Structure 1
Amino acid sequence: MKRVCIIPCGAKKIWDVNPEAGSQPAKLVYLSPLHQRTKSYAKTFFSDWLILSAKHGFLKADDIIHENYDVAFGTPHAEQMTREELSQQFHEKNLLAYDELVVLGGKKYRKVIDPLLHPHQKAIYPLAPYKGIGYMLQALKQAVETKIELPPHI
């Protein structure tokens, strides 16, 4: 079975700390604790992982982001990716090649990912049972330290 991990981006970005940072690869842009923990988890358990951004869609680690932005799923914004744009990226970035998408995001990610899936695919949401970001951070940290993946949650 071919799997990919989808991780959330995060509101805190490199330009919040260093306004002169200029264009950066996606893997260096996002600084929030949840993003850092999900990235660590993704790198521990998956050879393939992507960052999901409301403005840029599906980002590979080396995709370049040119400037700061404040766009989030679940909050209407003119620059938010449409379902059509995300669907187009889903094809362009070859996400159809995966049987399982492990999504390390909350409920709002389910509304974004599930409509993109094709019949041969399923998405699982290992963080779904956790009520609150503190519990999510703790679970991710423990999984990485013990090298034991979080149980699947559909």
Structure 2
Amino acid sequence: MAPLCIIPCGKKKIWDLDPEAGAVYAKDAYQGTLHRKCRTYAEANGCDWTILSARHGFLLPYDIVPENYDTGFHFPKDEIIADETLTQQWQEKNLYAADTLVLLAGKKHETVLKRVLAQPEQYRWQKPLQGCRGIGEMLQRLDLLS
């Protein structure tokens, strides 16, 4: 199986551009620069990818995002997706089949992943954005890597 990139969703969404958009595929929902550059990196490097959303969990490109939202992993625990649901999605969507996880997000996402994966040590981890001190550096690094 191809490496699996874990990419962040981001605050800017299709509904910010078109409030009447209705339900859309996950691949079309997220419009932020970091999200788009992470997708470009994943696709340019032959990786499968999933979006990790604090509201909807692991989203594959053709999963449906029903409406706009603003939720992050820094929100109170009762306002974000439950760890148990994330673990269940990881299994149901066969994401566990990857042997390499490419984390294209920050420490919050890594903390969530290591908490919900049954055996995080079974994966080979790549962190191309490790050491970046903010979104500006992340965007610059993605430009260099893609």
Q: TM-score, normalised by structure 1?
A: 0.87
Contact 1:114/1:123 (<8 A) preserved: no
CA distance in structure 2 between the partners assigned to 1:17 and 1:121 by the alignment: 38
The residue identity in structure 1 corresponding to 2:123 is Q
The residue identity in structure 1 corresponding to 2:96 is L
CA distance in structure 1 between the partners assigned to 2:30 and 2:122 by the alignment: 31
CA distance in structure 1 between the partners assigned to 2:30 and 2:112 by the alignment: 20
Runs of 5+ unmatched residues, structure 2 = none
Identify the residue that residue 93 of structure 1 maps to in structure 2.
Answer: 93
| C-alpha displacement of 1:135 | 1.1
Identify the residue that residue 48 of structure 1 maps to in structure 2.
Answer: 48
Q: % of aligned pairs identical? A: 48
| C-alpha displacement of 1:77 | 5.5
Contact 2:2/2:47 (<8 A) preserved: no
Report the CA distance shift for 1:108/1:37 in structure 2 as closer, same or farther (over 3 A). same
1:76 aligns with 2:80: no
**Comparing 58-67 and 115-124, the one that deviates more:** 115-124
Q: TM-score, normalised by structure 2?
A: 0.91
**Comparing 53-62 and 121-130, the one that deviates more:** 121-130
| C-alpha displacement of 1:74 | 1.8
Runs of 5+ unmatched residues, structure 1 = 145-154
